[in-house]
Structure 1
């Protein structure tokens, strides 16, 4: 009996060892010292706006060998020459073994990565190959490519909005801006300086030489057409599309409300948009009390102040004021994204 038991134990241990060996043979183990050979079509590239659509740089690499069959995923890593890939940018490339950059694509990418425009930069590039989070990646050697970028800055263009609200003067009319100079212009115009000031036109310069009025259909433009008009006395975001000869006006009006204002808590006192400075202004007499700022005569968007620092918060607390006449300025276009205000007693 004891002899049979011992033989059984030996057989079990041998079988277990055999099974373990089979599992070891199936386990994925990356080949030590594996690398990828990365080549670039050039080590010095000068990008130009004229050659933006042409191929500027081609990267190609051989297949990563992990020592076993696996689906390999590649990524291009980019970093500055002195950063040694400590915080690289990663561009997923799936299973591709080549990446072709046009001039525009490479210039846009480097601009996005905060490389200065119109300068020459040493850019390190390498390929990263992976098969699983459980297996160490394989990297190619870094290739340094000198890349000279070009500026993508486009000079903005303007049209002007002379009308009855400002004396029909193109020379002093506020403007609409096309940031990309693409024929689409936008800006805020306040039509509430005086009564019956709802008519206006669009001019391409500070004269009447080229002007646009209403077209045959609502919302369209025509060269030398009749006067355009907004529906009511208020401030509007005006959009003009000279490519399609259309225009639109959407109410966009900030006002002051509160028991310190002439309208109390029931009616906004409208502010005027300063087109040149990019701020909203109002000079008015206030009584001792509270004020807030709100958009389009509605509580859906309103600003108060919580911290006493002249920085406004959406839905913030009422702002206390003493009696007096004030110049009030609302600035919604600060570079840091905050909304601020000032109250200057006259």
Structure 2
């Protein structure tokens, strides 16, 4: 019996030592804070037209170690915070600017623009001229790991808005990574927004091994990384296997998806029954999907994955989904399909 007790004590000591070793500074145990406090005045009326910034602070959420925290501001009409689900948008709006400290200097102009979008106050004639209220909360996230977002207790603030024209034209989002030297410029693949608010994106890119999403051409503005289908503001590089992908990203649900895909040419330029399809291959020198083809007189379209779920037609200068057939003259061509946005287009280059 004494031998068994000695063994038990030794085992307990080993486990305790192991636990301490696992919780060392270079491998901390990450906590998921339930909430924290936003220090915002409920008495002040923020006159957004006559101030440059709204200066708030918040408590630093307890992640169990000195994490690099990113803070985002979210606003809602009431205190019922509903996340996006499927095609249904979230009940709240997240301001684009993010903060690396808990000292928040929020642009009054960005707050006003976001309030206009939240309340759909797009008509100058019906724009409110009296004091309004809105619920505000802060979302915190850590760049080293996704899924640890935390939210401050919401605060109802008072403000006076002012009218500005807000465009909801489709936005684009850059896909930058080691496939293009991490450069956010006109040569970078771009996803196209498919919703009015510019929060849901769709597009294509030839990826290498790592990439991120950028909302502008500046790293000082919001960018998104993450992994396993989850996005995080300022998150780490997303990894991929080299290939050509359909990419979808949803900033309402903070999710993304990657799916390898192919594109081909099909039409009566090959056979009258539209059964022959010529596959396109990505050319890194031109940034296009290409093929050398022999056309008969007729029509053709581009389609993805040998099916009609995604097809492009219409004008070569501006291809659209489910667009009309494209007419071609007989001859030999190099066909180039450009899907790097913001407009899909194609070229037929005669081969002598």
* Interval of TM-score (by shorter of Structure 1 and Structure 2): 0.3 to 0.5
Give TM-score, length-normalised by structure 1. 0.37
Q: With CA pairs under 8 Å and 6+ residues apart, which has the higher RCO, 1 or 2?
A: 2
Structure whose CA Rg is larger: 1
Give TM-score, length-normalised by structure 2. 0.36
